[in-house]
Chain A
Amino acid sequence: MHNFDFVKPGTVADAAAALQGDEAQPLGGGQTLIPTMKQRLAAPETLVSLIGIAEMQGVCKTDAGELSIGGATTHATVEAEAASLFPGLAGLAGRIGDPAVRNRGTIGGSLANNDPAACYPAAALATGATIRTDKREIAADDYFQGMFTTALDEGEIIVEVRMPIPEKSNYQKFLQPASRFALTGVFVAKYADGVRVAVTGASEEGVFRWTEAEQALGSNFAADAISGLSVSADGMINDLHGTPEYRAHLVKVLTGRAVMAAA
């Protein structure tokens, strides 16, 4: 690891100011960034820690019936505090990595990183979440722009994530055996006005919505509803752990399981 400066501001404004500097980068839980720095694949000159910012911490329900999660809230906190408000999300958070990762890693870090196999992007997309930054609000449908790519500008901070709370929801994660990230993961969220299905781990374009399934499930929220559908293997990830065909197949299996678990 190369030397770097470390600052830990107490407000979003101070953090934003600190991030104006050249080669400054936000630090959430460090579960992705620190290993990258140890491998010398990243060498920021200043790390701006976000975990001391009170307004970026914690989970609550807004008046509009959304779940609001501070951008620096750890997975473990989401697991505990969303348990009764939004169990589908709490279940997702509780199966990210291991306890050490869950006690450090944050939702903002996960969404900023947008690893194609990460779990939170599926929840954010399936709920049609709003990503609030220090500069603007971004709809989930506009936010994810491919593997490790998002709508965020350099130094932009995810301050809050707001997710409309679904009537029913479930996340099915099929483990990549080594990393235990999602080899394929499917988040299904049922609302009064429709169903959203988001898939992570499978596509070379990162997290995506399976719209045919959304339509089918919108009129009949049962696993059977998708039995006639199939997912194309085109554009699916091919690696040591699964072929495009296998991932495409898993998308359907996991969607069915998520619906069954949610229903």
Chain B
Amino acid sequence: MPKDGGIGASSKRREDVRFLTGKGRYTDDINIHGQAYAYFLRSEVAYGKINGIDTSVAEGMPGVVQIFTAKDFEGAGGIPCGWQVTDRHGQPMQEPKHPILAEGFVRHVGDPIVGVVADTLEQARDAAEAIDVDITEIDPVLDMRAALADGATKVHDELSSNLCYDWNLGNSPEEAEQVMNSAHHVTTLELTNNRLIANPMEPRVAVGDYSIANDDYTLYTTSQNPHVIRLLMGAFVLNIPEHKLRVVAPDVGGGFGSKIYHYAEEAFCTFAAKQCMRPVKWTSSRSEAFVSDAHGRDHVTTIRLALDENGKFLAIHTDTLANMGAYLSTFSSSIPTWLHGTLMAGNYTTPIVSVNVKAVFTNTVPVDAYRGAGRPEATFQLERVVDKAAREMGIDPVEIRRRNFITEFPYATPVAVEYDTGDYHATMDKLLELSDHAGFEVRAAESKANGKLRGFGISHYIEACGIAPSNLVGQLGARAGLYESATVRVNATGSISVMTGSHSHGQGHETSFAQVVAEMIGIDEKQIDIVHGDTANTPMGMGTYGSRSLAVGGSAIVRATEKILNKAKKIAAHLLEASEADIELKDGTFTVAGTDKSVAWGDVTLAAYVPHNYPLEEIEPGLEETAFYDPANFTYPSGGYGCEVEVDPETGKVQILSFTAADDFGNVVNPMIVEGQVQGGLAQGIGQALLENCAYDENGQLLSGSYMDYTMPRADDVPMFKVDHSCMTPCTHNPLGVKGCGEAGAIGSPPAVVNAVIDALQRGGHDVKHIDMPLSPDRVWMAMNS
């Protein structure tokens, strides 16, 4: 019987009532009396020296309130990077200044140069068109290999080169090399992980407001982590103490990572609000989003896998160039390192794993986390090279994986992480069953009869979620803690408001977090509301990314609710004139064990606030508790993904016929929400594999700067998914035993799709070993015909 509430129930998403009926309140819905509008004049060239900016005509134009250039921000700091990576020589990464408005140079198409504030947006735009920016163009730095060559033009004059850092993890390259030299077989694969643009449905928006009465600021912004923005912007950029700065991230229409970071426009609107003595609003256009939201991925990798004669993995060596873009976005430096290198062992017992990453500055939009962040890049290269090795050695791709699966836990990898639990054979079994792997040959024959090439591709991923133990990430260079917070406020009549430091921008926290609390107390979910997104009424939290909300934020809620229950039991014991040790809680009623003496939840909560009959000498009145939860380890979701495709050999067009995901997320709070998260992730992973391609031309102009050229996945690009999460090895170190499911789909799917296409082509007699994503029809056709 499915449960109709609490943990394990597919409770309907309560937030959907407002989202699906147009009643959401997004940042762009916020309009403050007297508000003015900001428009940014952005660089149209990839690299150039600013000789002068003439705003004189624009200043006299109708409606113009004030025009800002870098000069106005001389007292402000640069936009900080939140993670300092230490290179393989023990030196800190090179960290250029990231000004709010371009200082002396523009470094990518879209770099903001001038901010115009006017009564209306059209007036601001008119004025911006009348501004004359005199720029001497410089040949841009675009290709990462060329950027690292001796004598290459530097993106930042003040740095010694375009190398941000040169970083190693795991075994030394020499150790790996030794194994490669004597191994039975070495498989090599060069690949790129294509650059992507997040494209949340809601573009970014910022509304800055300043109150002279209280000398305080409010920023409304499209953020996945309002407290982080308050800390970064207040302490590092604008020098506003936290008690004078409130950051509100109301309903947010999707983030996928791109709304984690502190952006220039947020600082601009907050700063300009005081300068102009008016609220200042900026709403990104879609075109602007393409050149100002942080991009994702963009790795160029060479991976080598050494195997013995039985297909046992002996060593992995991987070299990656990671594009940082022109400036370091908030988490950019950590993505190719601690969120990528640490996953290079995958599901396998490979004893030697050596990872090198060189992060490179180029004249492109900054690159940062995008759904999966580092882990898709790791999974892609590993699951592709494993597949290639299987083909080269004539071993079945399922079998080669099984021969190398880790089966004993905890398992310490050579790349700094320890997996607590998992059962990879179980998810592989589930995948083969649900995808009818056994029947594939029959289906392949049918396709062949119809002139089509059918292929099946597998990937078995692992990822690290729930970021993360603060003391560990501190050692690794994080400039913040990565705990999460919760305050559980029980009202007098027993209803509850939970204030969480997590932020929901589509994930359904308001539903699943309420299920957790309802389960613990034994009351109806409807009695519980989840409050998030406003620094004024939630405890300092780190926000939502890295599939961390339930594992870390949910655990904080559990801890706070435990404190509530401890206190409630004391009150119940008093009311029942029993010993606290004898009090049992079931279905929202406190009972004295072995008796029929009981008191209801609502009576206990009322007593806490109307403490007439109350143990005041022992405990305080009221029922409100806060907890901060810092995880002991990452969580390690894993799973087996299978993709079945048909390729049209005449056109190279790939159609996905079926996609099966057998995940192990540990315990599951709301199976329907989990299924939705996986489906969304799969659609994005398929988007990366077949469709999405952020491309620049040789001048640094974005070729895919609109939906005319940037291909988002549409409904008819994806199949009906088969999603299963019945394999559960609960996380051993958080109270819910949950692992996180938000990114898995995007992490595990791209290699499954590419492996399937390669399988189809090889079955069709084409000697194609690899195609770089996206596997668009022209690329597949070119690969078949070259």
Chain A interfacial positions (CB closer than 8 Å to B): 1, 39-40, 174, 177-179, 183, 239-243, 245-246, 249-250, 253
Compute how far the CA of A119 lies from the CA of B737 in the bound complex, rounded to whole angstroms.
56
Compute how far the CA of A243 lies from the CA of B693 in the bound complex, rounded to whole angstroms.
16
Chain A's nearest CB lies how many Å from the CB of B287? 7
B695 x A178 contact (CB < 8 A): no
- Contacts A240-B695, A241-B778, A246-B782 hold; do A174 and B651 have CB atoms under 8 A apart? yes
Could you say which residues of chain A place their CB within 8 Å of the CB of B711? 177-178
Chain B's nearest CB lies how many Å from the CB of A121? 18
A246 x B708 contact (CB < 8 A): no
Chain B's nearest CB lies how many Å from the CB of A36? 12
B778 x A253 contact (CB < 8 A): no
B709 x A240 contact (CB < 8 A): yes
Known: A240-B703, A246-B781. 18 other contacts (CB 8 A): A40-B129, A177-B691, A177-B711, A177-B776, A178-B691, A178-B707, A178-B709, A179-B707, A183-B777, A239-B709, A240-B695, A240-B704, A240-B709, A242-B777, A243-B782, A246-B778, A249-B781, A253-B651
Could you say which residues of chain B place their CB within 8 Å of the CB of A242? 777-778
Chain A's nearest CB lies how many Å from the CB of B39? 12
Could you say which residues of chain B place their CB within 8 Å of the CB of A249? 781, 785
Compute how far the CA of A183 lies from the CA of B693 in the bound complex, rounded to whole angstroms.
16
| Pairs of residues from A and B, 7 with the lowest C-beta to C-beta distance, nearest first | A178-B711, A242-B778, A177-B711, A246-B778, A179-B708, A253-B650, A178-B709
Residue of B nearest to A257 (CB): B650
- Contacts A178-B710, A243-B782 hold; do A39 and B287 have CB atoms under 8 A apart? yes
Chain A's nearest CB lies how many Å from the CB of B127? 13
Interface residues of B in 759-786 (CB under 8 A from A): 776-778, 781-782, 785
Could you say which residues of chain B place their CB within 8 Å of the CB of A241? 709, 776, 778
Compute how far the CA of A174 lies from the CA of B782 in the bound complex, rounded to whole angstroms.
16
Compute how far the CA of A245 lies from the CA of B777 in the bound complex, rounded to whole angstroms.
13
Residue of A nearest to B776 (CB): A177
How does the 8 Å CB contact mask read for B126-150 relative to A, with 1 for contact and 0 for none? 0001000000000000000000000
Residue of A nearest to B126 (CB): A2
A179 x B782 contact (CB < 8 A): no
Compute how far the CA of A192 lies from the CA of B709 in the bound complex, rounded to whole angstroms.
41
Could you say which residues of chain B place their CB within 8 Å of the CB of A245? 782
Residue of B nearest to A38 (CB): B285
Residue of B nearest to A245 (CB): B782
Residue of A nearest to B697 (CB): A240
Could you say which residues of chain A place their CB within 8 Å of the CB of B129? 40
Chain B's nearest CB lies how many Å from the CB of A172? 11
Chain A's nearest CB lies how many Å from the CB of B120? 12
10 CB-based A-B contacts, threshold 8 Å: A174-B651, A177-B691, A178-B691, A178-B711, A178-B712, A179-B707, A179-B709, A240-B695, A242-B778, A245-B782
How does the 8 Å CB contact mask read for B696-727 relative to A, with 1 for contact and 0 for none? 00000001100111111000000000000000
Could you say which residues of chain A place their CB within 8 Å of the CB of B703? 239-240
Compute how far the CA of A249 lies from the CA of B711 in the bound complex, rounded to whole angstroms.
22
Compute how far the CA of A48 lies from the CA of B781 in the bound complex, rounded to whole angstroms.
46
Residue of A nearest to B693 (CB): A240
Could you say which residues of chain A place their CB within 8 Å of the CB of B652? 246
Could you say which residues of chain A place their CB within 8 Å of the CB of B782? 243, 245-246
Residue of B nearest to A249 (CB): B781
Chain B's nearest CB lies how many Å from the CB of A49? 22
Compute how far the CA of A236 lies from the CA of B125 in the bound complex, rounded to whole angstroms.
38
Compute how far the CA of A220 lies from the CA of B710 in the bound complex, rounded to whole angstroms.
41
Chain A's nearest CB lies how many Å from the CB of B42? 14
Residue of A nearest to B774 (CB): A177
- Contacts A240-B695, A253-B650 hold; do A178 and B704 have CB atoms under 8 A apart? yes
Compute how far the CA of A39 lies from the CA of B703 in the bound complex, rounded to whole angstroms.
17
Could you say which residues of chain A place their CB within 8 Å of the CB of B781? 246, 249
